[in-house]
Amino acid sequence: MKRNVIFIAAFFCSLSSYAASGLKDVELRDLYFGEVLFYAYQDKYFEALERLDSELIQYYRVDESNLDPLSQNLGQAEFSVGDIELQYRMDKRAGKAIQAVLGSGINLAMRNQAALQLARMYFRKNDAERALYALDLIHNRVDMTKYPDKSVDDLRGVEPENFKIDVLYLRALAYISTGQFTNAVEILDSLRNEKSIKGYVLYNLGIALIQAQQELQGLEVLDELGMLETQDKNLQALKDKANLKIAYRLLDSGNAEQARIYFQRIRLDGPYSNQALLGAGWAEAALDRYERALVPWTILHKREKTNHSVQESLMSVPYAYGKLQAYGKSANMYAEAMDMFAYEISRLDDSIKAIRGGKFLEALVDEKSRQDENWVVNLRELPDAPETRYILDLLASSDFQTSYNNYRDLADLKVRIETWLANLKVFEEIIDIRRAYQEPLLPIVGERFEKIDARAKLRLEQRNSLADKIKNILIAPRPDFLATADERLASDRVTAFEQYIAEHPGKVTGEQIYRVKRLRGLLSWRLQSEYDQRLTEAYDHLLSLDETTEAFKKRYGSFIRTRQAATQSYEGYQSVIRQLRTGLFSAQRKLKGVMAKQGRFLETMAENELDRRRKRLEDYQIKARFALAENYDRVTKADQDKLIEEQNQLREEKQKQLELEKEAQKAEESAPSAEDSLDKGSSILNNVPAN
């Protein structure tokens, strides 16, 4: 698990420059989808999902969805659902969305992109086997016989420039996670010359070679990474990590002299500088060069006391002085270390109390965290905030980061729900204002509408009747239908004359009968001779009437819609708002419980981390106490040894003085007197014979 964390971190660092693949290089044709991209490019994935879901729901509900501008970006929109959900850490929904895209009839390039995103999701969840399965769904060739009506470009689409590199690199990392180091080495070796990810490839290749029992080759690759020239800060940190790994491996194997070289390559201002300074000191100590070991340890001794390496240096510096037999200085530094450990333990206790009091969570969701990129580092400098003292090291954990982001999103959702509930009240006020304005007007409008509606129906019936008559005339000519009003009146009068003549034949003269027939003939002749012209004019008038009728229908429909809109502007919302409010209250209660669990989980992680640090400091404190006592013993023993030595010297000097005095006394006792010497001298002279 620990090894996987390293690989995952290196993998996502290498892909950090790539945006969500489904949102890149989009030919924007829908304004609302552009709004989705606007939020997605700013990493505001909740807002992007909110608008994207609304757009897709509206698209699928409209009758003629092909007229919606979103249809031209539908493929990118459907793909972006899973892509944005994945960025928002909604892994379950993202997996379903991506699998749905894989099962749809999209082009090969987008299908491959979906498979790659699915593989990334599984790999991020430490499920390397499923990641390999998703990578196997990526195809490079298309059987064109299955798609006779499509071109290669339609099926393949356009893949990103680094798509194949990403696929191979992810496959190699998945092989490492599943223990298939030989396969990983083969793929990573083929990617060594890819400039965009060269540093990350070299690091993982070196690790894979070491795990494949090819330690020498792996160390050579890590050494190549350690010598890589780059200005990228991430790669510089990876270089330091590679050099640190080689150095400690050499130090553990007993090659301290060679380890010194790799420790010296690591930057003093990098993230691994503290570990490097500590290791450099131990390398010198392994060679019994404690004076040199004090140089890096003294530098480390002055750094931030919350760091593990710095805390260890508080023990290693007096240890070196002890080895140099500077027991007094060593004892003083052990005493200082004990005071420092006691102070840090006290601060840790305060931090744990602050965490249990809820201050830790308040600091995590503070508004400054959204505005200041370095807010985590600046938390150290806040006064009276012991709960934030060790937060920088805590946030270095990927598990903590994921949990923290989830908690922050929950806190953000809590604010959103409160805002939505407040907005519902505003909507109710708007509806009440509309009702107060519209209800008094609608009865008056309704009366006028009924009159207009009756007249409209009558006129439409008349128009339809005229249209039917003209249609029938075209089939069976009826000139009398096209007579004018005067001609109809004249025809009626002639008909009355004819009826009178028929009923009273004796009262009518022949001339009168002739004149009536002449009038009838004149009317018939005019109708027959002008029939075509009148029929054409009638048809033209009907078309003109159709235009007028169509305009009337539009105004009539507009009036209907306006009347309905006026009614619908305040009717039917109460039940919807009630349902929404109930749903929001339910979500709020559920969110409260989930947020409490997530917050407690974060607090537990923080407490466990701080408790682990506390136990380590207590262990250091115990060791320092014993070391201090040992130094006192050494100092006391040295003083005693010196005193005994001085006493022995005095005793020896006295003994020598006594021996000298005894010898002198003996010499005095054995020496003859002067008179005896003279007597002996004279006797000797007397006994000498004469010549």
Amino acid at 374: N
pLDDT, tens only, 87-117: 777 766 666 666 666 666 566 777 787 788 7
Nearest to 631 by CA among 400, 352, 383, 325: 325
Residue 550 lies in a domain: yes
pTM of the predicted structure, to 2 decimals: 0.65
- pLDDT confidence bin for 584, thresholds 50/70/90: very high
Pair of tokens at residue 192: 């060594």
Rounded average pLDDT over 453-478: 78
User: Which three-class secondary structure state does DSSP give residue 646?
Assistant: helix
Residue 330 lies in a domain: no
Judged by average pLDDT, the poorest of 249-258, 485-494, 595-604 is 485-494
Judged by average pLDDT, the poorest of 28-32, 142-146, 612-616 is 142-146
Residue 643 lies in a domain: no
User: Residue 34 pLDDT > 60, yes or no?
Assistant: yes
User: Residue 581 pLDDT > 90, yes or no?
Assistant: yes
User: Residue 13 pLDDT > 50, yes or no?
Assistant: no
Residue 655 lies in a domain: no
Amino acid at 126: N
Rounded average pLDDT over 561-581: 84
Nearest to 91 by CA among 82, 100, 99: 82
Tell me the CATH number at 121. Answer: 1.25.40.10
User: Residue 340 pLDDT > 60, yes or no?
Assistant: yes
The upper half-sphere exposure of residue 537, i.e. CA atoms within 13 Å in the direction of its Cβ, equals 9
Of 427 and 367, the structure prediction assigns the larger pLDDT to 427
Pair of tokens at residue 462: 């008349």
End-to-end CA distance of the chain: 123
Are residues 279 and 588 in contact, defined by beta-carbon separation less than 8 angstroms? no
Residue 607 lies in a domain: no
Domain end, chosen from 568, 591, 612, is at 568
With left for phi above 0 and alpha for psi between -120 and 50, is residue 25 left, alpha or beta? Answer: left
Q: What's the rounded Cα separation, in Å, for the pair 524 and 483?
A: 10
Q: Where are the beta strands (DSSP E) in 573-684?
A: none
Domain end, chosen from 568, 603, 625, is at 568
CA quadruple 232, 238, 244, 250: dihedral positive or negative?
negative
User: Which three-class secondary structure state does DSSP give residue 634?
Assistant: helix
**Tally of domains in the chain:** 2
pLDDT, tens only, 115-164: 887 888 888 878 888 888 888 888 765 444 444 555 544 444 445 567 88
- List own/partner pairs for 406-409 with CB under 8 A and 24 or more apart: 406/89, 406/598, 407/361, 407/364, 407/365, 407/595, 407/598, 407/599, 407/602, 408/364, 408/365, 408/369, 409/46, 409/88, 409/89
Residue 654 lies in a domain: no
Of 542 and 427, the structure prediction assigns the larger pLDDT to 427
User: Residue 651 pLDDT > 90, yes or no?
Assistant: no
The proportion of the chain whose per-residue pLDDT surpasses 70, expressed as a percent, equals 81
User: Residue 176 pLDDT > 90, yes or no?
Assistant: yes
Domain end, chosen from 130, 161, 192, is at 161
Tell me the average pLDDT of the chain.
79
pLDDT attached to residue 120:
84
Residue 201 lies in a domain: no
- Residue 407's CB: how many other CB atoms inside 10 A? 20
Pair of tokens at residue 141: 């060739």
pLDDT attached to residue 147:
47
Q: What's the rounded Cα separation, in Å, for the pair 442 and 555?
A: 18
Rounded average pLDDT over 488-507: 84
Q: Could you tell me the CA-to-CA distances from 276 to 72, 156, 294, 313 in Å, in that order?
A: 56, 50, 14, 12
Residue 251 lies in a domain: no
- Residue 363's CB: how many other CB atoms inside 10 A? 20
Contacts of 535 by beta carbon, 8 Å cutoff, 6+ apart: 470, 473, 474, 482
Q: What's the rounded Cα separation, in Å, for the pair 354 and 369?
A: 19
Domain that holds residue 553: 442-568
pLDDT, tens only, 292-336: 999 999 999 888 888 888 989 999 999 998 888 888 888 888 889
Please, what's the b/e burial string for 12-51 (b: 16 or more CB within 10 A of its CB; e: otherwise)? ebbbeeeebbbbeebeeebebbeebbebbeeeebebbbeb
User: Residue 2 pLDDT > 50, yes or no?
Assistant: no
